[in-house]
Amino acid sequence: MSIFRTKNLDDMVAASRKPGGLAKVLGPFDLILMGIGAIVGTGIFVLTGTGALTAGPALTISFVIAAIACGFAALCYAEFASSVPVAGSIYTYSYATLGEVVAWMIGWDLLLEYGLATSAVSVGWSGYLQSLVASVGYRLPVELTAAPGAVPGVSTWFNLPALLIMLVLTAMLSLGVRESARVNNIMVAIKIGVVLLFIAVGVGHVEPSNWRPYAPFGATGIMSAAALVFFAFIGFDAVTSAAEEVKRPERDLPIGIIGSLAACAVLYVVVSAIMTGIVPYQKFLGVDHPVTLALEYAGENWVARFVNLGAILGMTTVILVMAYGQTRIIFAMSRDGLLPKKLSEVHPKHHTPFFATWMVGLIFGGIAALVPLNVLTELINIGTLAAFCLVSVAVIVLRKKRPDLHRAFRCPGVPVIPALAVVMCLALMSFLAWFTWMAFLVWLAIGLVVYFGYARHHSVLNKAPPAGVPAK
């Protein structure tokens, strides 16, 4: 069936190397910091408190479970990214293995996931900035501090800081990936320094009695928290979106993917252990700055101010990398004809998808300004878990279809490791709320309408001559 037509891997790689495309400027260090930049942010500075209320001190186990699920998927991503160094991440991999309609649906899914992630983190960024500014005696007009209806009983128009940070980072991304990577590397170094400062100062204030009982809500609480804090690891897959702009993708992409995930997993486990060791987990109820609360609880107010700064920088890099990943997926889908061609035009000077970058910034900056945070976060996890399932299946399929393909990095234990990734991701999905499933299915249904109404007919493969017929 034509909806399951696949792209030729060799043609994809050859097309990505044509002159006038994306500039190849990134190395392994850039990729590791890009991954850390996308991962360390809202998860460590906000979700640790919410996760502690769900799992208690056993939040550390929840982080380990989420990290293992991501780790299995990361090995699959690393094999694909090193073998097919083309922009588009799981969308591109699915197109080469599972067929056009599957690729379209996962690309459609990721457009929403990455976009809502940037919007949600922008809202969180705005909250931390307003808190930091208020601590030195300044406040924005209340009408400009939040989306309409976000604060009960308060008349607000829109979230100005959330919109502004999206526009600033959009401008940076549109001017060049090398420049964006340099800024990201600096901010990541600072925020990792802040996290290490928290660990160094906080470990001396741990009271082991706060870890008892360790798992007050049992296995259900641990798994529910794992499904929640899974969001904290979203971002390492954005590294694969940079595949077409990496100098030596065969070596550097696996290093960037696995290295960033491993570093962040260790940081999350250590920070959550220290945090719940300082503060009884019940006291995180209604708190959106749990790390700062732990330091204030310990009487280390001067460190708390640095953590606020680190949270702002941490969320800035998350927005930057997630917006980057989304624009590259749009670029790949447009180049394949599934989205309008304007979205894959590369700026002659900056070598970036200029129009697509600004479209993303304006649309999701507007969403960040006008939609409350609780609405934004509902769909993010389920779509990413679905993507991880697909990339794991795709590795098994490609091993069967193209055993001759050169693989600079091979996922170990195929098909066992990919199968475990699918099982763990499905298990985490089962702990998500029913309304999340409903909203996800509605979005996918809209995607099917768009595919059959536009994308299928405009696909480059649809216009290609059948096998054995010379092109005109």
Structure-model confidence comparison of residues 470 and 22, the more confident one = 22
Each residue's pLDDT tens digit, 227-264: 888 877 877 777 777 778 888 888 888 888 888 899 98
> So what's the pLDDT on residue 278?
96
User: What pLDDT score does 379 carry?
Assistant: 65
Question: pLDDT tens digits for 162-202?
Answer: 999 999 999 988 887 777 777 878 888 888 998 999 999 99
The pLDDT value recorded for residue 118 is 86
More confident call, 335 vs 183: 335
Residue 116 has pLDDT above 70, yes or no: yes
The pLDDT > 70 percentage for the chain reads 94
Query: pLDDT value at position 181?
Result: 76
| 78-82, 278-282, 408-412: which is most confident | 278-282
| Confidence bin at 207 (pLDDT 50/70/90) | very high
Quote the pLDDT of residue 419.
95
Cα angle 87, 63, 60 (rounded to 5 degrees) comes to 160
pLDDT for 373 equals 61
Averaged pLDDT, 108-126: 84
**Residue type at position 18:** K
**SS3 readout for 216-284:** CCHHHHHHHHHHHHHHHHCCHHHHHHHHHHECCHHHHHHHHHHHHHHHHHHHHHHHHHHHHHHCCHHHH
pLDDT grade, residue 465 (50/70/90)? Answer: low
With b for 16 or more beta-carbon neighbours within 10 A and e for fewer, the 304-329 pattern comes to bebbbebbbbbbbbbbbbbbbbbbbb
472 or 111: which leads in pLDDT: 111
More confident residue, 382 or 208: 208
Average pLDDT over residues 96-104: 90
Question: Mean per-residue pLDDT for 424-429?
Answer: 90
Task: Please report which confidence band the pLDDT of residue 472 belongs to, taking 50, 70 and 90 as the band edges.
Answer: very low
Percent of the chain with pLDDT over 90: 34
Q: What is the pLDDT of residue 378?
A: 56
Span 34-65, pLDDT tens digits: 888 778 876 788 778 888 999 999 999 999 99
pLDDT of residue 470 exceeding 60: no
Region of 234 on the Ramachandran plot (φ > 0 left; ψ -120 to 50 alpha; else beta): beta
Lowest mean pLDDT among 332-341, 354-363, 456-465: 456-465
Buried b (16+ CB within 10 A) or exposed e, 256-293: bbbbbbbbbbebbbbbbbbbbbbbbbebbeebbbbbbb
Question: 468 pLDDT band (50/70/90 cuts)?
Answer: very low
Q: How far is residue 6's CA from residue 98's CA, in Å, rounded to a whole number?
A: 7
Residue range 328-332: average pLDDT? 88
